Amino acid sequence: MERPAWAPQGIDISVPSVSRIYDYYLGGSHNFEVDREAARKAMEFLPGLPKIMQANRAFMRRAVRYAVNEGVTQFLDIGSGIPTFGNVHEVAQSASDEARVVYVDHDQVAVAHGRAVLEGNTRATVVSADLRKPRQILDSSEVSSMLDLRQPVALLLVAVLHFIEDADDPIAAVTELREALAPGSLLILTHASYDGVPVPEERAVGAVDVYRDIRNPLVMRSREEIARFFEGYEMVEPGLVSMPLWRPDAPAEQEDPYAFSGFAGVGRRA
């Protein structure tokens, strides 16, 4: 298998990666045939997966603009994936000259590509670290040089927590991150769920099984389980809702039915 010039040495390009599969769904070019094959398999069960990812990105962009409008110009995006067009730094920095962004991912392709995209951008950087080890992120030199944790930060956990199994205690990791942030900070979060998926659950399970087979289990959680990640934060209106229903730019009725899969919300630390 030919290794493209952008693929860092040392990564196994025969194993699919969730961030590269996501890149494929969004129409990106930083993915391998092994990623595309897994994506196509999952789409046999949920053909609307790209629509879900697009709704996810659209919510993220609205939430970033909301944060800037609220005066929050520091962003910590964990599980950021491969920076495609319209990513956090582009949205935030076009809305505010003050905006500073730290991306965090443990996929080396995402990290390497992030560094290439951000070259020359003095107000954005990338950390190679894992959400399951919050101190590794909070104590990193990149976070301490780019962000002032004594001031409000927007913490983005967009489409990442459903890849953390209960055995790895995602609640504890999110609690540690939330509590490290100053009053006025925001938690911006999306999470996969069987709720809202426009096909029977038995069929959606087929797509979930594809992720399990590539050793990246997809953990579907209920609305109540997802709400627990916001404990101690006040929900911003309209609360924890389907992605197109969170402060939409256009009438949500125009959205594809798949866009309503899962939940999105923003919470504020009092």
pLDDT at 5 over 80: no
CATH 3.40.50.150 fits 48-205+220-269, yes or no: yes
- Model pLDDT for residues 26-76, shown as the tens digit of each residue: 998 888 999 999 999 999 999 999 999 999 999 999 999 999 999 999 999
In the chain, pLDDT over 70 holds for what percent of residues? 99
Distance CA 205, CA 208 (A): 5
CA dihedral sign, ordered 128, 133, 135, 138: positive
CA angle, 108 then 110 then 114, to 5°:
115
Ranking 106-110, 240-244, 255-259, 262-266 by mean pLDDT, the lowest is: 106-110
DSSP β-bridge partners for residue 102: 76, 125
Q: 8-25: per-residue pLDDT in tens?
A: 777 777 889 998 999 999
Beta bridge partners of 125: 102
Sign for the CA dihedral angle at 229, 49, 124, 100 comes to negative
CB–CB of 137/143 below 8 Å? yes
Residue 6: is its pLDDT beyond 90? no
pLDDT value at residue 200: 96
- In one letter, which amino acid is 31? N
State how far the alpha carbon of 165 is from the alpha carbons of 89, 160, 215, 250, in Å.
29, 11, 12, 35
Predicted local confidence at residue 3, as pLDDT: 72
